[in-house]
């Protein structure tokens, strides 16, 4: 999680490819009043994990 000077918050998680290396990332950025790390963090991690599974099983 990061917070910048204009009070935006960013939460990110990696998306892994078939070989287990990072192939992409998923992030959410918004005003600190709306993006709470305790809620956005788990949601972003779950979405990135789902994307990793989908990407790893592509043929």
pTM of the complete model beyond 0.85: no
Residue pair 20/55 in contact (Cβ under 8 Å)? The answer is: no
Instruction: Give mean pLDDT, residues 14-25.
Output: 94
| β pairing state of 2-3 and 8-16 | antiparallel
Q: Can you tell me the mean pLDDT for 4-33?
A: 88
**Range ranked top by mean pLDDT from 26-30, 48-52, 55-59:** 48-52
44 versus 58: which is more confidently predicted? 44
The pLDDT-based confidence of 5 (bands split at 50, 70, 90) is low
């Amino acid at each position: 999680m990061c917070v910048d000077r204009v009070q935006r918050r960013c939460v990110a998680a990696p998306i892994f490819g078939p070989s287990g290396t990072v192939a992409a990332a998923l992030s959410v950025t918004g005003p600190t009043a709306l993006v709470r790390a305790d809620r956005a963090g788990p949601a972003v991690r779950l979405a990135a994990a789902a994307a990793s599974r989908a990407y790893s099983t592509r043929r």
